[in-house]
Structure 1
Amino acid sequence: METKIFQSDQLDQAAELLRQGELVAFPTETVYGLGANALLPTAVKQVFAVKGRPSDNPLIVHVADFTMTKEFVESYHPLTEKIIKNFWPGPLTLIFKIKKDSLSPIVTGGLSTAAFRMPDNKKTLSLIEKTQAPLVGPSANTSGKPSPTTALHVYHDLNGKIAGILDDGATSIGVESTVLDLSGDTPTILRPGAVTQEKLAAILGIEVPLDKHLVSESETPKAPGMKYKHYSPDTDVLMVQPNDWDEAMAWAQENNQKVGLLVSPTIADKYLSADRFVFADDTIEAATRGLFSGLRALDEADKVDLIFAQVFPEDHLGLAYMNRLKKAAGQKYFAK
Structure 2
Amino acid sequence: MTDNSMILPINQENIALAARALRSGALVSFPTETVYGLGADATKGNAVANIFEAKGRPSFNPLIVHVPDIETAKRYVTFNKLAEELAVKLWPGPITMVLPRVEDCSISELASAGLPTLAIRIPANPLARTLLKEAGIPVAAPSANLSGKISPTEAQHVADDLGDKVACILDGGSCAVGLESTVISLADNKITILRPGGISREDLLPFGYPVEEAEADAEISSPGMLLSHYAPGCSVRLNAMQKNDGEAFLSFGSGFEEIEDLNLSAEGDLKEAAANLFSALHKLDKMKPTVIAVTPIPNEGIGIAINDRLNRAAAPKE
Q: TM-score range by the shorter chain?
A: over 0.9
CA displacement, residues 118-177 of structure 1 (integer Å, 9 cap, x when unaligned): 000111101000100110110000000010000010111111111001111000111100
Once the two structures are TM-superposed, the CA of residue 41 in structure 1 deviates from its matched residue by 1.2
Counterpart position of 1:329: 314
CA distance in 1 between partners of 2:215 and 2:306 (Å): 14
CA distance in 2 between partners of 1:23 and 1:311 (Å): 37
Counterpart amino acid of residue 37 in structure 2 = G
Tell me, what secondary structure is at the counterpart of 1:322? helix
Counterpart position of 1:112: 116
Say whether the 8 Å CA contact 2:195–2:224 is kept in structure 1: yes
Say whether the 8 Å CA contact 1:113–1:183 is kept in structure 2: no
Once the two structures are TM-superposed, the CA of residue 330 in structure 1 deviates from its matched residue by 1.1
Once the two structures are TM-superposed, the CA of residue 313 in structure 1 deviates from its matched residue by 2.1
Counterpart amino acid of residue 273 in structure 2 = A
CA distance in 2 between partners of 1:285 and 1:4 (Å): 28
Tell me, what secondary structure is at the counterpart of 2:134? helix
Counterpart position of 1:195: 199
Q: Decide whether aligned partners of structure 1 residues 132 and 199 sit closer, same or farther in structure 2, where only a CA change above 3 A counts.
A: same
Say whether the 8 Å CA contact 2:7–2:159 is kept in structure 1: no
Once the two structures are TM-superposed, the CA of residue 101 in structure 1 deviates from its matched residue by 4.2
CA distance in 2 between partners of 1:195 and 1:265 (Å): 22
Counterpart position of 2:237: 238
Counterpart position of 1:125: 129
Once the two structures are TM-superposed, the CA of residue 51 in structure 1 deviates from its matched residue by 0.4
Once the two structures are TM-superposed, the CA of residue 185 in structure 1 deviates from its matched residue by 3.2
Say whether the 8 Å CA contact 2:9–2:172 is kept in structure 1: no
Does residue 258 (structure 1) correspond to residue 243 (structure 2)? The answer is no
Say whether the 8 Å CA contact 2:238–2:294 is kept in structure 1: yes
Counterpart position of 2:168: 164
Aligned pairs for 1:303-322 within 5 A: 304-322=289-307
Tell me, what secondary structure is at the counterpart of 1:95? strand
Counterpart position of 1:76: 79
Alignment partner for residue 269 of structure 1, among 251, 254, 257?
A: 257
Moved over 6 A (4+): none
Counterpart position of 2:52: 48
> Which range moved further: 289-298 or 85-94?
289-298
Tell me, what secondary structure is at the counterpart of 1:319? helix
Counterpart position of 2:28: 24
Give identity over the alignment, percent: 38
CA distance in 2 between partners of 1:124 and 1:5 (Å): 14
CA displacement, residues 196-240 of structure 1 (integer Å, 9 cap, x when unaligned): 1111111x112311114246xxx6x10111111110111110002
Counterpart position of 1:298: 284
Taking structure 1 as the reference length, what is the TM-score of the superposition? 0.88
CA distance in 2 between partners of 1:141 and 1:134 (Å): 20
> Which range moved further: 309-318 or 145-154?
309-318
CA distance in 2 between partners of 1:184 and 1:146 (Å): 34
CA distance in 1 between partners of 2:149 and 2:24 (Å): 28
Once the two structures are TM-superposed, the CA of residue 259 in structure 1 deviates from its matched residue by 1.0
Counterpart amino acid of residue 240 in structure 1 = N
Once the two structures are TM-superposed, the CA of residue 267 in structure 1 deviates from its matched residue by 3.5
Q: Decide whether aligned partners of structure 1 residues 125 and 155 sit closer, same or farther in structure 2, where only a CA change above 3 A counts.
A: same
Counterpart amino acid of residue 264 in structure 1 = F
The structure having more radius of gyration, on CA atoms, is 1
Once the two structures are TM-superposed, the CA of residue 311 in structure 1 deviates from its matched residue by 2.1
CA distance in 1 between partners of 2:159 and 2:139 (Å): 19
Counterpart position of 2:91: 88
Once the two structures are TM-superposed, the CA of residue 270 in structure 1 deviates from its matched residue by 3.5
Pairwise CA RMSD of aligned residues?
A: 1.8
Does residue 210 (structure 1) correspond to residue 195 (structure 2)? The answer is no
Counterpart position of 1:5: 8
CA distance in 1 between partners of 2:98 and 2:188 (Å): 9
Counterpart amino acid of residue 225 in structure 1 = G
> Which range moved further: 1-10 or 193-202?
1-10
CA distance in 2 between partners of 1:35 and 1:315 (Å): 32
CA displacement, residues 94-128 of structure 1 (integer Å, 9 cap, x when unaligned): 01011244122111101000011000011110100
CA distance in 1 between partners of 2:199 and 2:316 (Å): 23
Say whether the 8 Å CA contact 1:97–1:183 is kept in structure 2: no
CA displacement, residues 168-200 of structure 1 (integer Å, 9 cap, x when unaligned): 100011110000112443221101112111111
Tell me, what secondary structure is at the counterpart of 1:209? strand
Once the two structures are TM-superposed, the CA of residue 296 in structure 1 deviates from its matched residue by 1.1
Say whether the 8 Å CA contact 1:53–1:143 is kept in structure 2: yes
Say whether the 8 Å CA contact 2:194–2:214 is kept in structure 1: yes
